[in-house]
């Protein structure tokens, strides 16, 4: 059973680092399991539902990897007051829960705590900065994929790279966070342009998530159907143009190639939006293609494909809920 962590000054393992992962969804559980295997890391999952937290606390996190299935005894709690100050907090909640997540994890955020968002969509780090010390907020992306099978149980669809940076230029905090994640065997890179990074992830999500949700296809299957492959490319190019209007420096980024590379790397994965549709949950479409539409309107650009996909996914969600 879960036992509250001792204060850092009382712990005999003074060289251990503490990580709190907020949100026990597919990506939260995957990373809790990956980090929780490391003896030098004290990893805890923070949930908002006490009954679900109790179940995960009892059974641990179960990961179905390509080679085998293993269980990691990751503690889970719904009460952040039980925990001592963390070295790193990673936010994996849905975009629409970001403000609530910031409030929920506030008790574990001390003066030196890094708060890293690896969520989908735009606006997450700004919401965290409004609720927590701005200079301690980091933003990043991960190309790993996972499917939530049941409470605390995920299927690993591929391990990718984490790229992170500091929106306020706190390079020392970004460096130390990258080193902590690397110590767990994760591939990590740093970026000085967080907004370009987030837009690149947004572009990929816009091209993959709505199409997989609407067609019930896995990521890799988008490339097997010529019409869907071309449509995904058109969406990517549209988001690229809106990003240009916003002022994003894309460098040598190739939108179609980037989407196809992710589809191949996560071929067996069900996108998070498809998982939400299948489970009858609210999707994040308004913060993905919907956010592109809003950005296009602000900067006098056009985003008809994103507007169409947003309406279709919202309509599908409403239809699913009425059944």
What positions carry a catalytic annotation?
201
Q: Is 253 helix (H, G, I), strand (E, B) or coil?
A: coil
What are residue 110's phi and psi, to 5 degrees? -100, -175
What are residue 112's phi and psi, to 5 degrees? -115, 10
Q: For residue 226, how many C-alpha atoms fall within 13 Å in the half-sphere facing its CB?
A: 0
- In 3D space, the residue among 4, 5, 8 whose CA is nearest the CA of residue 112 turns out to be 8
Going 160 to 221 to 67 to 93, the CA torsion angle's sign is: positive
Contacts 24+ apart (CB under 8 A), 317-322: 317/277, 317/282, 317/283, 317/285, 320/277, 320/280, 321/280
């Amino acid at each position: 059973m879960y036992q509250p962590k001792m204060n850092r000054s009382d712990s005999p393992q003074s060289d251990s680092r503490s990580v709190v992962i907020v949100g026990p969804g597919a990506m939260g559980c995957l990373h809790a399991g990956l980090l929780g295997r490391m003896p030098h890391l004290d990893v805890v999952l923070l949930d908002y539902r006490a009954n679900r937290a109790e179940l995960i606390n009892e059974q641990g996190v179960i990961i179905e990897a390509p080679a085998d299935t293993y269980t990691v005894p990751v503690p889970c709690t719904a009460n952040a007051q039980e925990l001592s100050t963390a070295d790193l907090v990673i936010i994996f909640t849905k975009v629409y829960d970001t403000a609530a997540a910031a409030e929920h994890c506030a008790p574990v955020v001390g003066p030196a705590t890094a708060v890293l968002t690896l969520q989908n969509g735009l606006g997450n780090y700004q919401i965290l900065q409004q609720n927590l010390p701005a200079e301690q907020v980091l933003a990043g992306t991960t190309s790993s994929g996972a499917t939530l099978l049941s409470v605390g149980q995920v299927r690993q669809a591929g391990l990718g790279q984490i790229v992170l940076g500091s929106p306020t230029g706190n390079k020392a905090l970004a460096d130390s966070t990258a080193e902590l994640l690397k110590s767990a065997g994760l591939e990590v890179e740093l970026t000085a342009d967080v907004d370009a990074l987030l837009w690149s992830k947004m572009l990929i999500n816009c091209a993959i998530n709505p199409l997989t949700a609407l067609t019930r296809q896995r990521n890799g299957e988008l490339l097997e159907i010529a019409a869907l492959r071309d449509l995904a490319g058109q969406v990517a190019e549209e988001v690229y143009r809106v990003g240009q209007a916003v002022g994003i420096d894309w460098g040598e980024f190739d939108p179609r190639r980037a989407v196809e590379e992710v589809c191949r790397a996560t071929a067996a994965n069900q996108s998070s939006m498809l998982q939400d549709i299948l489970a009858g949950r609210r999707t994040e479409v308004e913060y993905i293609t919907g956010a592109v539409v809003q950005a296009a309107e602000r900067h006098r650009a056009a985003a008809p494909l994103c507007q169409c996909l947003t309406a279709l996914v919202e309509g599908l969600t409403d239809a699913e809920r009425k059944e």
